[in-house]
Chains A and B, each alone.
Chain A
Amino acid sequence: MTDGSKTEGPKKTRTTRRHFLAGAAGLAAAGAATRVRADDKNLPPNVAPWSKSLGDGVAVRPYGHPSEFEKNVIRRDVQWLTASRESSVSFTPLHELDGIITPNGLCFERHHGGIAEVDPNDYRLMIHGMVDRPLIFTLEDLKRLPRVNKIYFLECAANSGMEWRGAQLNGCQYTHGMIHTVQYTGIPLKLLLEQAGVKPAGKWLLCEGSDAAALDRSLPLEKALDDCLVAYRMNGEMLRPEQGYPVRLVVPGWQGNMWIKWLRRIEVGDRPWYTREETAKYTDLMENGKARKFTFVMDAKSVITSPSPQAPVKRKGFQVISGMAWSGRGKVKRVDVSLDGGRNWREARIDGPVLDKAPVRFYVETEWNGEPWLLQSRAIDDTGYVQPSKDALRKIRGVNSIYHNNGIQTWALKTSGEVENVEVG
């Protein structure tokens, strides 16, 4: 992070180093928040203008947006990562969020050929191959079928992929922001496959998008019949275009690349297809030059979202440490937090729902008096899997695998209250 002089606009709320230190110095004096300044015209005992005059009426904002003071709560990308924005990724601002649900407009994006703008009237889902009755469904057809509502996280297999060789990106939006969680409304894939009638020899599905990458992935039939959905709603409303409007595949707990967006076709076959996306990409290269394939499930992982580099500590005294933990293998059973880089751990308090293949929100409430901390969190899921350290992962996998980096993240909280992404040894 460098100084904030390049940035513009009086309402900027990002904490730059200069801004931050000035704030911290001010806070050293007790009662800073209650001091009355000349420009405190909106603070008591004065009365703010919004208390005196009428505001916008109903339906002036027919589709509501966040407050203008929340303009910095946005998806961001890292332009050097990819050659073009059409085949790239943007990151969820995890440091600005709480609870487990991601607002639809903040769900990270990963496209391979840009956003397909599908006309719902021309939407078709084809199911064919080793089936008794090859079928085509319209969107209206799909909406007539029985549906379920499920909350799942979607994590890109490359989440934290830039951190294999050491701490690189300074913000949990960038290190961990390729994840989002919404409630999907959709049809169990099992039910749709039953309509077509899968032949006994059918063992794998090829699922394909209708975008300009026609992204295709092989999905084991067993998983399809277990808990996959063909979803058309997120958090109650229709899917956003960037999330596959009008229909996407939901593959709970498995890598995001398999959650085919703009889903147009499902073919039943007797073996996997070994598409480019499951061979040249989304395979995990080990130190010996061989690569793991079909590493579908996302291992247990967690991150402290606040404090974090984009969410520094502004006040000494009582602190709420907040984070998120998840596992593709099931439910999160426990989350531990360390303040000393993993020497000593304490159990965090999980608040809110604990669901299968969905994140939990965790908190540690404690005091901070300016001492340096090395903040870590580790997730433990209900299979007994304990999130490993980055070094433990590297020992087995080396540093070339790109995908599935679920190692424990360390944030260094400095005396100033600033937080930095660091590597510890």
Chain B
Amino acid sequence: MSRWGRDFWLSTASNSAHSRASGNPETVRRSACVVALGPRFRGDERLGKRIALSLALLFVLAAPVLAESAKPHNYGIGTRATAEQIAGWDIDVRPDGVGAPPGHGSVKDGEAIYLERCAACHGEFGESAGRWPQLAQGKGTLASNDPVKTVGSYFPYLSSVFDYIRRAMPFGDAQSLTNDELYAVTAYVLNLNDIVDDKFVLSKETWDKVKMPNANGFYDDDRETAEKAFWNPNPCMSDCRAPVKITGHAAVIDVTPEEAGANDKPPRKGGVE
């Protein structure tokens, strides 16, 4: 919107608010002209009105043209990123393998790296130590009351694992694995989940051979249809339900931290993940 158009729109809007408040049509009409067109037009309401109308019409007609002509402005700020700079930071990998670096690694080599760099948190067999993420097993649990989400049971793509290890693992020593180590340790985690056999060597070339068990376990957000009932123009205001009973108490579970520190009682399932 042009500066002129915006000013005009604002003055009209402020005037209509005024008209509702004052309730005097004569005062309102006069002040409309004063606000929109300035004091010069005071005293000639008819002319003022005619000009206001034609200006409004002009604005309505011109608006789409103005909008279309708004080309992105180049501020000349920022410098060209070189191929070398991009290569150093561009570490993401897509499901189709785009972005995967050169290199390869075997399950066997991965086992040694895993035991040294990963097992302390994730457990020797990916079973997890403490509250660190479990990496293996859990197949067939997703529909149960105690779902176990692991690389084998939940991750949909090889890249979801590979990209994550590449950027964030080992925890506290991120981006320290060589490409070959990265391939090897990923291959070993796949092997822990029986996705690849003991002889498997992971590389860009064997990328597509990896079939993730839960690849079809996801669907797009469908809240607007599946939960359509939550859009309700007339929510109930009185006598909406039978008398209410308390069915659960947080105080009974008693896992809320005390002021002095955390409470060690075992919590229920659930968390920030």
Tell me the count of chain B residues lying within 8 A, CB to CB, of chain A.
Answer: 95
B251 CB to nearest chain A CB (Å): 5
Contact assessment for A279 and B160 in the assembled complex, using a CB-CB cutoff below 8 Å = yes
Contact in complex: A81, B217 (CB < 8 Å): no
**CB distance B174 to A170 under 8 Å?**
no
Q: Tell whether A305 is near chain B: CB-to-CB under 8 Å.
A: no
Which of B157, B255, B264, B272 lies at the interface centre, i.e. has the most chain A CB atoms within 10 A of its CB?
Answer: B272
B167→A214 contact, CB < 8 A: yes
- The answer to whether B240 touches A344, judged by C-beta atoms less than 8 angstroms apart, is yes
Measured in the bound complex, the distance between the Cα atoms of B251 and A273 in whole Å is 43
Which B104-158 residues sit within 8 Å CB-CB of chain A?
121, 130-132, 142-143, 145, 147, 149, 151, 154-157
B121 (CB) vs chain A CBs: closest residue: A83
State A281–B150 Cα separation when bound (angstroms): 11
With contact pairs A134-B80, A340-B244, A384-B231 given, residues A128 and B90 touching in the complex (Cβ less than 8 Å): yes
B50 interface residue (CB < 8 Å to A): no
Rounded to whole Å, the gap between the CB of A135 and the closest CB of chain B is 4
Which segment of B185-193, B196-204, B219-227 sits at the interface? B219-227
Inter-subunit contact A78/B257 (CB<8 Å):
yes
Q: Give chain B's interface secondary structure class.
A: loop
Report A99-133 CB contacts with B as 1/0, cut-off 8 Å.
00000000000101100000000000011100001
- Nearest-Cβ distance from residue B52 to partner chain A, whole angstroms: 31
Bound complex: CA A186 to CA B259 (Å):
37
Q: Does any Cβ of A come within 8 Å of B267's Cβ? A: yes
* B91 close to A (CB within 8 Å): yes
Q: A165 with B89: in contact, given A1-B251, A283-B218, A383-B231 (CB under 8 Å)? A: no
| B219 and A281 within 8 A (CB) | no
Nearest-neighbour CB distance to chain B for A424, whole angstroms, equals 5
A293 x B221 contact (CB < 8 A): yes
Whether A424 and B164, one on each chain, are in contact in the complex, defined by CB atoms closer than 8 angstroms, is: no
How far, in angstroms, from A373 to B159 measured CA to CA in the complex? 51
Give the contacting residue for A267; candidates B79, B92, B145; CB below 8 A. B92
The CA-CA distance from A251 to B71 in the complex, in Å, is 24
Q: Chain B, 64-95, contact with A by CB distance < 8 Å: what is the 0/1 string?
A: 00000000111101111100011001111111
Q: Tell me the residues in window 353-388 of chain A with beta carbons closer than 8 Å to chain B beta carbons.
A: 374, 378, 380, 383-388
B168: interface (CB < 8 Å): yes
The one of B81, B142, B231 in contact with A289, judged by C-beta atoms closer than 8 angstroms, is: B142
CA separation between A191 and B265, bound complex, in Å? 50
Partner of B77 from A7, A141, A271, A399 at Cβ < 8 Å: A141
> Nearest Cβ in chain B — how far from A219, in angstroms?
13
13 residue pairs of the A-B complex, CB under 8 angstroms, read A1-B251, A134-B86, A156-B272, A195-B72, A271-B94, A275-B92, A279-B154, A344-B237, A344-B239, A345-B237, A384-B232, A412-B246, A421-B251
The chain B residues found within 8 Å of chain A, CB to CB, are 72-75, 77-81, 85-86, 89-95, 121, 130-132, 142-143, 145, 147, 149, 151, 154-157, 159-161, 163-164, 167-168, 171-172, 174-175, 217-223, 226-227, 229-233, 235-251, 253-273
The 9 A-B pairs of least Cβ separation, nearest first, read A341-B244, A79-B262, A289-B143, A423-B248, A194-B72, A289-B142, A276-B164, A421-B250, A214-B167
